[in-house]
Amino acid sequence: MMDKEECDRMDKTRLKVLIVDDVAMNRELLSAVLGDESDVREAADGLEALEILKEEPFDLMLLDLNMPRMDGMTLLKETRNMPELANMPVIVISADDSLETLHRAYELGAVDYLPKKMDTEVIRRKVADTVLRSVKQKQLLKVLNDQVYERERNNRLMVMVLSNVVEFRNGESATHVQNINVLTEAILRTYIRKYGAGDLTEEDISLICLASSFHDIGKIAIDGSILNKPGRLTDEEFETIKTHTTIGADMLSRIEGWQEYPVMRYAYEIARWHHERFDGRGYPDHLHGDEIPLSAQVVAMADVYDALISERVYKPAYSHETALEMIFDGKCGMFNPKLLMCLEECKDEIRGSVNQPKFDFGVQRRARNIVDSLLSYEE
């Protein structure tokens, strides 16, 4: 994607144009038309042009179709398969103006067409208009890219805020929430690769991973002396702990219009049902099998794995191998057999992906300031 500096270069400096034609006179004529306003390079066929394009970028290519060694259509196809060239505007110049030829050229990515015999002023105008459109499109993409990046930074900030809250309230490591994000994505993508995406889109995957950050949000309302008790919980205390699922779901459902936002619907599913188990022995609603939403099933497995490999006030950290063995042996409840196969397949990937810092220092500082402000109200 072109950045703002490159767009400014196109606005303020001479254009770089590649003319590709096997007839030297045609190249010379086009160079003469554009030479006062452009830096022009010439190529006698598609192969020569391809070598030049691999060496340096161009703002525009003027391309003849009928050439020896590699014709224009083949060169178009080659450039569109190369990410660094795919967005370069191409104007086709040809004596063949049949609809079939034009349709094929446009399908392969040409943005405009010029007949061989064309007034020089029309050529200049066509080139200027084509480059201007390209610049505006790339500037728009830059704006959209900046917006996506900012949204991603805000998403990471929210995850970091929740990480710090969980660490403060629940005695868990600051990486727990971000580990759940990473593990959820790894397991979910493996599931989709093995069994198909179904109705899930890339946006759904992103939203589920983000919503996984809310899985334990209900623990904010649980007494810290119970959450951080070093010894065995009494039956009554365990029943209190279990209410974090319904408390979290209730907190999320009180947000006005929450059902209108997919991320909040996923967050509700995950908060309420990430302790359900495939055989119906989980809580709070004792759902069976695929009554449990896939989002909650995946986060449940990710949560158990991270809890096992992490130190808690009531247990030491288990090794990666021991954690997997306990999950596969059913010592942490029954999981979807398909998800167990996915965990087996991506086990090496997740070993190296957890407990890694994922946030830049600016996001960390903003998150800590927000958390400090929130927690100050408890004093």
Specify whether 125 is located in the same domain as 214.
Answer: no
Is 339 part of any domain?
Answer: yes
| pLDDT value for 377 | 42
Specify whether 117 is located in the same domain as 186.
Answer: no
Domain housing 44: 4-142
Specify whether 134 is located in the same domain as 182.
Answer: no
Structure tokens of 214? 């809310």
Q: Which residues contact 184 (CB under 8 A, 6 or more apart)?
A: 208, 209, 212, 298, 299, 302
Structure tokens of 167? 């660490």
| pLDDT value for 303 | 94
CB 139 within 8 A of CB 7: yes
Specify whether 74 is located in the same domain as 204.
Answer: no
Is 365 part of any domain?
Answer: no
Tell me the CATH number at 109. 3.40.50.2300
CB 214 within 8 A of CB 263: no
Chain position carrying tokens 């990430």: 274
Choose one of 142, 161, 188: the last residue of a domain: 142
Residue 17: which H helix or E strand, with range?
strand 15-20
Cross-strand bridge partners of residue 75: none
Is 290 part of any domain?
Answer: yes
**Total tally of structural domains belonging to the chain:** 2
Cα four-point dihedral sign 199, 204, 209, 211? negative
Specify whether 95 is located in the same domain as 222.
Answer: no
C-alpha distances in angstroms, 188 versus 243, 298, 339?
27, 7, 9
Q: What is the pLDDT along the chain (379 residues), one digit of tens a residue?
A: 344 444 444 444 577 888 898 888 888 888 887 767 678 889 999 899 999 998 888 888 888 888 888 998 898 888 877 877 777 888 888 877 788 888 888 888 888 888 777 666 677 777 767 765 655 555 555 554 555 455 555 555 565 556 556 555 555 555 788 889 889 999 999 999 999 888 888 888 888 988 898 898 888 778 778 887 888 888 888 998 999 999 889 888 887 888 888 888 998 999 999 999 999 999 999 999 999 999 999 999 999 999 999 887 778 899 999 999 999 999 999 999 999 999 999 999 888 777 665 544 444 555 555 555 544 544 4
Is 183 part of any domain?
Answer: yes
Tell me the CATH number at 218. 1.10.3210.10
Structure tokens of 81? 């398969």
Whether 219 is a known active-site residue: answer yes
Q: Which of 138, 219, 242, 315 is catalytic?
A: 219
Specify whether 130 is located in the same domain as 191.
Answer: no
Cross-strand bridge partners of residue 17: 40, 60
